Amino acid sequence: MRTLEESLARYAAYHRDRRNIATHFAGIPMIVLAIVVAGASVAVPVGPMEVTLAAAASIAACVYYFRLDFAFGVAMAVALFAACAAASEALARLGTAGALGAALALFVAGWALQLLGHRYEGMKPAFLDDVRQLLVGPLFVCAEAFFLLGARQELRRRIEARVGPVVARRIPPLADTGRS
């Protein structure tokens, strides 16, 4: 398993343009909430009770996040618990069809934001090279929030030493035309 720094640096290498990061601050939570709502609509009997796919997936994700870092694990557990609670409320108020419709709209809008951000960045999404980056994306947003609040600055410095600083606008490298 990669370390926290390795995981975040790999993801950050695809996300150095501020506009891309900004779209991820909205898009990733939308996608995560959409997935949690969809997962909350499926319950599996476990002994005398039922466990939703959302709860099981959230617990598994939290185990991964806690193994990487305790503070980020706590933050992600709180966020995923809130998403599970919101999903439960959405299902109760909107019914399954309404909640799944809302989840689909969130999912599509979240991915549209992601793709817009990567258009700004001029790079493909990280998960196209490594599907595990789909799990790192929410952690990246969490880490960037910590950094914005002034926390974990040493981690930020180490990541930036590996992949460079966040910039206002990424300028793609010039294409090699073969001319000198």
pLDDT of 152 higher than 80 = yes
Beta bridge partners of 46: 49
Res. 9 pLDDT band, cuts 50 70 90 = very high
pLDDT of residue 64: 97
Residue extents of the structural domains in the chain: 4-163
Helix, strand or coil for residue 176?
coil
SS3 string of 94-156? HHHHHHHHHHHHHHHHHHHHHHHHHHHHCCCCHHHCCCCHHHHHHHHHHHHHHHHCCCCHHHH
Q: Is 131 exposed, middle or buried (0-12, 13-18, 19+ CB in 10 A)?
A: exposed
* Max CA pair span of the chain: 74
Task: Identify whether the C-beta of residue 10 lies closer than 8 Å to the C-beta of residue 134.
Answer: no
48 φ, ψ (degrees, to nearest 5): -80, 0
Residue 170 or residue 91, greater confidence: 91
pLDDT of residue 172: 59
pLDDT of residue 180: 46
pLDDT of 1 higher than 80 = no
Confidence (pTM): 0.89
pLDDT digits (tens, 9 = 90+) for 53-100: 999 999 999 999 999 999 999 999 999 999 999 999 999 999 999 999
